[in-house]
Structure 1
Amino acid sequence: MNTNPDAVTVLCYGDSNTYGQRGEDVDRGRWPIDVRWTGLLQDLLGDGYSVIEEGLNGRTTDLDYPDRVGRNGRAYLVPCLQSHDPVDVVVLWLGANDLKPQFGRSVADIAVALGRLLDDIETMPSYREGPPPRIVLLGPTPIDSTRPDFSEFCPPEFAPALVAKADELRVAVRALAAERGVGYADVGAVAGVGDDGMHLARDAHPAVAALVAGAVRAASAVTVC
């Protein structure tokens, strides 16, 4: 925990790629904090920033699983923000799990759901006077169905559609960020996935941390003046 009372608070709210799920050796769970991009982000930003990692495997924008409790990202977002209030910057990285065939959700519907999360962040009451948290949207990583372990997680018949929708979502998230005037960072432009074809490769974490650090600095320059 960063004990600097003047630190800029950065909440990283996302799914398994924020949690740090391994893209290789998946049976070993998450990468250690000194490997995860969120931990590296803290190192890059230094003591003037306090990075809070809020990632959860399977988290959706606003959808419920019939057999996995607590994965609805919208249901927990406001309590999470209030728990860490005041928050200066929110790095929001969700949408990939909404692509799962079981939900049957279109890319347009995912973008609308992300927009509702932006609304929640921008209208959340805070004890501190001033503007709401600045937001940085992260674009999804490309899904690579050619990776050796991909078939363990996704039936082959769903792979082409899933890959195509992930590419469409990347475009949609960029467009949403531009429309809403929030920050955007394209993770897919700097980072690859591991053997499972969905989660960041170990060697991708430093690149993601550097990308997000630049976006956070730009956002916080507007917030803290």
Structure 2
Amino acid sequence: MKNVLCFGDSNTFGTPPLASLDEARRYDGKTRWPGVMRKILGHAWHVIEEGLPGRTTIRDDLIEGIHKNGRRYLAACLESHRPLDVIVLMLGTNDLKARFGAPPEDIAAGVDILAGIIAATPNLDRPPARLLIACPPPIRLVGCLGSLFAGGVEKSQALPPLYEAVARRHGAEFLDVGTLIEVSPIDGIHYEADAHLALGQVFAERVQALGS
């Protein structure tokens, strides 16, 4: 059996579009994209879901908690789940929050640091895991999350070429998720169920190719 780790934020966790900040929901295992991918890949693959709402690349969130910093957890996560065959890394949306004031180049630099941690983590007796860096789709400033991401639209639109350059530097595969799906018009951050379906199908295809 091969192992694929999905390391991301609420859109890997499976948070549906939110009508209010008081909501706390999650798509079921058949609806969120890692579950869609699991069904397509079948019993030959073990899909490991490591999605945390609010997770950033390398930034401490002093409001939601420093445990949201992906850099603080990634090495332990990798060591806990190894050996790994493929890693899907999709982060950066939460780095767009206004309170971080991070330019697109700094967000991509965070992804670069995470890719470096992945490369430096031994994979037991296996070859290094193949890495797929996925750039999140552009956000929209609507609904209950709009003010949290003020100024983030243009930054999100600038990320794909920066992420692609990071992928090239690390010999990783790249996927521009914004060419496949759009964020929900309800909150401008999260994905509708049909977007999870489409994304899971594409990720399954890419993971299968990387693991062959």
Common fold by TM > 0.5: yes
Is there any run of 5+ residues in structure 2 with no aligned partner, and where?
A: none
Larger displacement relative to structure 2 (12-21 or 173-182)? 173-182
Which position in structure 1 is the counterpart of 2:158?
168
Rounded Cα–Cα distance in structure 2 between residues aligned with 1:175 and 1:96 = 18
Offset, 1:28 = 4.7
Offset, 1:22 = 0.4
2:43 is the counterpart of 1:43: no
Q: Are 1:191 and 1:208, in contact at CA under 8 Å, matched by a contact in 2?
A: yes
Offset, 1:111 = 1.3
Instruction: Give the CA RMSD over aligned residues.
Output: 1.6
Q: TM-score with structure 2 length normalisation?
A: 0.92
2:75 to 73, 78, 101: 78
Offset, 1:153 = 1.2
> For 1:142-221, what aligned pairs fall within 5 Å after superposition?
142-145=138-141, 150-155=142-147, 159=150, 161-194=151-184, 195-221=186-212
2:128 is the counterpart of 1:136: no
Offset, 1:25 = 5.3
Report SS of the residue matched to 2:58. Answer: coil
Q: Which has the larger radius of gyration?
A: 1
Which position in structure 1 is the counterpart of 2:59?
63
2:16 to 22, 25, 40: 22
Q: Are 1:22 and 1:28, in contact at CA under 8 Å, matched by a contact in 2?
A: no
2:1 is the counterpart of 1:11: no
Offset, 1:114 = 0.8
Rounded Cα–Cα distance in structure 1 between residues aligned with 2:138 and 2:107 = 16
Offset, 1:24 = 5.0
Report SS of the residue matched to 1:165. Answer: helix
Q: Are 2:146 and 2:188, in contact at CA under 8 Å, matched by a contact in 1?
A: no
2:91 is the counterpart of 1:100: no
Count of residues in Structure 1 that have an aligned counterpart in Structure 2? 208
Report SS of the residue matched to 2:154. Answer: helix
Rounded Cα–Cα distance in structure 2 between residues aligned with 1:192 and 1:67 = 28
Is there any run of 5+ residues in structure 1 with no aligned partner, and where?
A: 1-6
Rounded Cα–Cα distance in structure 1 between residues aligned with 2:92 and 2:147 = 20
Q: TM-score with structure 1 length normalisation?
A: 0.87
Alignment deviations for residues 23-79 of structure 1 (CA, whole Å, 9 cap, x no partner): 155625111111101101000111111100000010001111113231010110010
Larger displacement relative to structure 2 (114-123 or 172-181)? 172-181
Rounded Cα–Cα distance in structure 1 between residues aligned with 2:18 and 2:145 = 13
Q: Are 2:19 and 2:143, in contact at CA under 8 Å, matched by a contact in 1?
A: no
Rounded Cα–Cα distance in structure 2 between residues aligned with 1:166 and 1:184 = 16
Amino acid across the alignment from 1:47:
H
